[in-house]
Structure formats: structure tokens, C-alpha cells
Amino acid sequence: MSTEPWTAGDRQVVVIGSGPAGAAAARELLQHGISVTMLEAGLETPRGLLVRLGGRNYYRRVPPLREEVQHCVSGDPRTKCFAKLAPGGLTNNWTGAVPRFAPEDFTEGERLHERFRWPISYSDLVPYYEKIERSLEITADRRDVPQLPAGFSSHQNRLPDDWLNFQRVANQHGQGFTTYPLADGPPNLLVLRGTAFNSYTGIVRPLTRSAQFRLLTGAQALHLQSSELTGKVDAVVYHDRKKRSTERLSASAIVVACGPLGSAKLLHNSVSRTFPDGLGNSEGLLAPFLHDHPREWWIARMARPRKVPSPAAYLTRLPYQLSPPLMATSWTLGTANLQDKIRSRFGLRGKAVSVQLLGTMIPSECCVAKPSATTKDEFGLPALDVCIRYSDAEVDNVVRARQHLLNLMDEAGSRSTLDEIDPTLFPGTSAHYGGTTRMHAKPRYGVVDAWNRVYGAPNVLVCDAGCFTTAAEKNPTLTVMAIATRAAHRLADDLKRAQ
Ligand SMILES: Cc1cc2nc3c(=O)[nH]c(=O)nc-3n(C[C@H](O)[C@H](O)[C@H](O)COP(=O)(O)OP(=O)(O)OC[C@H]3O[C@@H](n4cnc5c(N)ncnc54)[C@H](O)[C@@H]3O)c2cc1C
């Protein structure tokens, strides 16, 4: 193993992963004068094609989505563990939906148990939400609606008029109906990638102009190393795919942002005398509380034609006080096919809308991401065993949500029926895992604290959706980026004070 000499002063931070979480953290550290070396397992960003005209995406070819890390699956055998080992991570493939969490999303779990109490609130994140939103070029409606606070958006969009009666009916049920906030970029775009915003091209690549930033691609972190003398974590050991060698890079602090499964694996593999069960695992919490978004997709056929919403429309969850704690669903309504997209451009009507449902899971000890007892990865380290299964209540929540939408359509004067349902109601299809390194004010309930610092190893931060204490029904990435930025801001302040 070779050890790289320390060159960038005492304040260098190693950020692991160039997905949106790592990118947001790295940018914040650099803006505060902290040197960053980013380790990224992937070698290059995959190609795609995006053709966007007049605020609508007409053609989108994303790179193939695969399970690029071989995890084991021991719960629902259909479980998917999608990963993109490439600069930009899963933002090479994502849709770009960026709703903010609502204030209650951070508090409603308390109705169930203290372990579901987030140590941060919505107002803690507001400045960081806005900072991130300003770099995502979002199209949205700028008005708050029930259960969905509006954020900063670069482009304004309103729903077509003939959905206003549906909006009124939704409001009568205490729900909001609005334009889905999407990081869709400028109205006209032709790029050789599959998504308008990608955390590599959007954030990391511009950082490479800074003398304080270094990006090492093909650098797969294997484990974090603790000093024999002090017990403090002081280095990352990684495999260099280009040199085919094992390298050691020392660091004064480390930001782990490999995605909720990748980060859990890295911490499990970081065993030392001080952390015999893995880093952050002294309370046995680095495994349970894995959660995901039960997701399904189908087409609703409407008896009465309407202008098809493009960009997509979003029906928010039922009010908190009317729902069991942590049980919710959101509905995204969009164009069902290219024909309808073209129709929508000219204000014409269609009779079909595509519907994506995202439900929630109540994080529990039954769903875990733990080291496999039998299977090793390509480096001889234990593979990650992903054990997750939806409960009957979680499946039922989604099934009831189908009917709820049809009832609202009916009330709004447009009887609708369901087409065949895409059979995706099994774990992993939304690629929205979370909870593996949950944050909590007390170490007995959390792996990291309110500033994403690992209990027992405060110079290690875990900044992806692994830190979610509970799952809201909203897409996670904007909140992940806001949390990562906030954590990096605090880390930068602490490093500067320690000088
Ligand atoms: C088809 C699809 C659509 C989606 N749509 C949306 C959406 O509309 N809205 C939304 O909010 N979310 C969406 N998501 C999810 C979103 O992409 C993820 O939430 C987000 O990318 C997670 O960011 P991350 O930085 O935590 O992890 P990732 O994006 O997974 O990035 C992790 C990075 O770490 C690197 N890495 C992993 N392990 C190591 C290691 N050991 N050493 C070094 N580097 C490592 C990887 O190569 C990768 O670059 C979608 C996902 C998919 C697949």
C-alpha cells in the first residue's frame, strides 16, 4: 500500500462520492476555504441525450441503470439496489424532482416514538434549501400549497386551467395540487447527457478550476482507518482502478457520501480496535431502519379530456392530522406518451395521464443493511446484505392511494379508470433508500448527530439519505443536498476554529 503525502495543509477534507450529496458538501467546504480531495469510484460520466424545447423534454436517453455494486438480497427477493459508479452518481439517471420537505415531515414521527424525532427542523434547512435551489435551475409554481412549501425556482410554471376544478377538490381534502418542482434546466437544451442537472457537470466539474480541489476518479474507498495511537479516524484506504493499487490518503476530516447503501458498507468495513463492530455501530444502529419509497406507475384514462400537464403536476399527501403517523403517499401526474407531450405544447387535450405513486415506510428494525456473513466483494471485504420487505400496511397504503386519486377525479367531474399497473411495488425501484446511518440527538437512536457527525468519530460525516431519521413521501435529493451543505458549513467552521 502506498501512502500519499499530506500536501494541502492541516485542513484537508476527503469527500467520498461525487453524487449530489458529496458534490454539495465539497462545494460548501471550498467556499469556506477548506481544501478538498474527492474520491470517486467511477471513471467517467456516461453519455446520454436530452432534447428540450419550449420547457418540455421531447427526447431523453439516459445511460442504462444497473445494479453496479453486487449487494446480497435477503428480504424480498425482487429487491433492486441500483447504483451508478460514475462521476455524478445517480443524477446521471434521475428525473430531477426536487420538492422541499414540509416542516411537519421533520416532526410527525414523534407521534409514534422518540426514535423518530429528527434532531433538525425545517427552519434549520431553509437557507441551505435556497442555496441549493439556486444552482439547480428549477421549474415550479412559486406558491406554497398544503404539505409542500415553495422554494426558489428559476422558471415559473402554472397548471393548465382545466385542472383548476381538480385543484379545488384536492384543496377541499386538505391536499395541494401544483406543478412538480423539477430541476429541468433552461427551456431549451441539447446536451449529451440524460439529465438537465447532473452533480458532476453542474457542481463538481466547475470546482476542478480551484487549486484547493482535487478529484480522483477510479478511486474506490475500501475502509476508513483509525490511528493506532489516538483511535481517531485519520485516513481513507482506497483502490486506485487506474494504477490497480491500494492507496492510503490521510485526512483531518472525511465526508462519506456513497449513497445510503454504499456509505453503510464503507462504515461496516471500517473495523478497528476502537470500532470493532464497524464505524458508528457501537449501538448496533448501523444496519436497521433501512427504508425506501414503495413506488408504482400506471396510466389513468379520463372520460373527459383535459390539457395534459407538462411539466408534470403534483398532488400532495393527505394532511398530517388525518393520516396515521409516517403513512403517506404523493401522486405525480404527467404525460403518458410523446403524442400527448406534443399535444400539450399546443394546448390540446388528451384522455390519459401517467401517475407515479410514492408511498412511505415506517423505519423499523426488520429492514437492515448489514455485512453478509458469507459473501465477499471483489476486494475480499464482506458484501452488503440488503434485507428489506414492505409490510402489508405499506402495500395497502399505496393500494388505497390509487382509489383516492380516482375518487378525486370523479369528484372533479372526470370519471377515470386505471390501465394495467406496472409491477414495480417491490423495494429499490425508486432508488430512494435511506435510514442506514440515521441522525438523532441521542446516540442510542442514531449513528450521526444533528451535524451528520458519526457518534464516537466526530471528524467523519455521513451526508447522504442514510442520515434520514424518517422517510417523507417526497423525493429525497434536494433535502439530502441541503443537509450535506449545512453539515459541511459547520465542519468548515470547526476546522477553521481548530487552527
Ligand atoms: C431513475 C431514477 C430517477 C430518480 N429520480 C429522482 C428524482 O426525481 N428526485 C430525487 O430526489 N431523486 C431521484 N432519484 C434518486 C437520486 O438519484 C438519489 O437520491 C441521489 O442521486 C442520491 O445522491 P447521493 O449523492 O447520496 O448518491 P449517488 O447519487 O448514488 O452518488 C454516490 C456516488 O458515490 C460514488 N461511490 C460509491 N461508493 C464509493 C466508494 N466506495 N468510493 C468512492 N466513491 C464511491 C458513486 O460512484 C457515486 O458517484 C432517482 C434515481 C433514479 C435511479
Residue 88, C-alpha cell as written in the block: 455524478
Residue 262 Cβ < 6 Å to ligand 1: yes
Residue 65 Cβ < 6 Å to ligand 1: yes
Angle ∠(288,289,291) on CA atoms, nearest 5 = 125
What torsion, rounded to 10 degrees, do the Cα atoms 172, 173, 177, 180 define? 160
Atom of ligand 1 nearest to the CA of 87: 49
- In tens digits, the chain (499 residues) has pLDDT values of 655 543 444 569 999 999 999 999 999 999 999 999 999 999 999 999 999 999 888 899 999 999 999 999 999 999 999 999 999 999 999 999 999 999 999 999 999 999 999 999 999 999 999 999 999 999 999 999 999 999 999 999 999 998 999 999 999 999 999 999 999 999 999 999 999 999 999 999 999 999 999 999 999 999 999 998 898 999 999 999 999 999 999 999 999 999 999 999 999 999 999 999 999 999 999 989 999 999 999 999 999 899 888 889 999 999 999 999 999 999 999 988 888 878 877 888 999 999 999 999 999 999 999 999 999 999 999 999 999 999 999 999 999 999 999 999 999 998 999 988 888 899 999 999 999 999 999 999 999 999 999 999 999 999 999 999 999 999 999 999 999 999 999 999 999 998 7
Atom of ligand 1 nearest to the CA of 463: 26
Instruction: Tell me, in angstroms, the distance from the centre of ligand 1 to residue 18's CA.
Output: 9
**Ligand 1 atom 27 nearest Cα:** 259
DSSP for 450-483?
Answer: TTSEETTEEEEEE-SGGG-SS--SS-SHHHHHHH
Instruction: Tell me, in angstroms, the distance from the centre of ligand 1 to residue 293's CA.
Output: 15
Q: How far apart are CA 16 and CA 254, in angstroms?
A: 8
Q: How far out from the chain centre does Cα 12 lie?
A: 26
Residue 272, C-alpha cell as written in the block: 478497528
Q: Are 326 and 289 contacting, i.e. CB atoms less than 8 angstroms apart?
A: no
DSSP conformation class of 202: I
Residue 181 Cβ < 6 Å to ligand 1: no
Round the CA-based radius of gyration of the chain to a whole number and report it: 22
Which of 80, 477, 480 gets mutated to test ligand 1 (max ligand atoms within 8 A of its CB)?
Answer: 477
Residue 17 Cβ < 6 Å to ligand 1: yes
Residue 288 Cβ < 6 Å to ligand 1: no
Residue 18 Cβ < 6 Å to ligand 1: yes
Which of 81, 258, 265, 467 gets mutated to test ligand 1 (max ligand atoms within 8 A of its CB)?
Answer: 258
**Ligand 1 atom 19 nearest Cα:** 477
Q: How far apart are CA 359 and CA 398, in angstroms?
A: 6
Q: How far apart are CA 430 and CA 424, in angstroms?
A: 9
Q: How far apart are CA 172 and CA 164, in angstroms?
A: 12
Instruction: Tell me, in angstroms, the distance from the centre of ligand 1 to residue 137's CA.
Output: 19
**Ligand 1 atom 38 nearest Cα:** 258
This prediction has a pTM of 0.97
Please name the residues in contact with 320: beta carbons below 8 A apart, sequence gap of 6 or more.
104, 108, 147
Instruction: Tell me, in angstroms, the distance from the centre of ligand 1 to residue 90's CA.
Output: 4
**Where does 88-233 have alpha helices with state H?**
122-133, 164-172, 199, 205-207
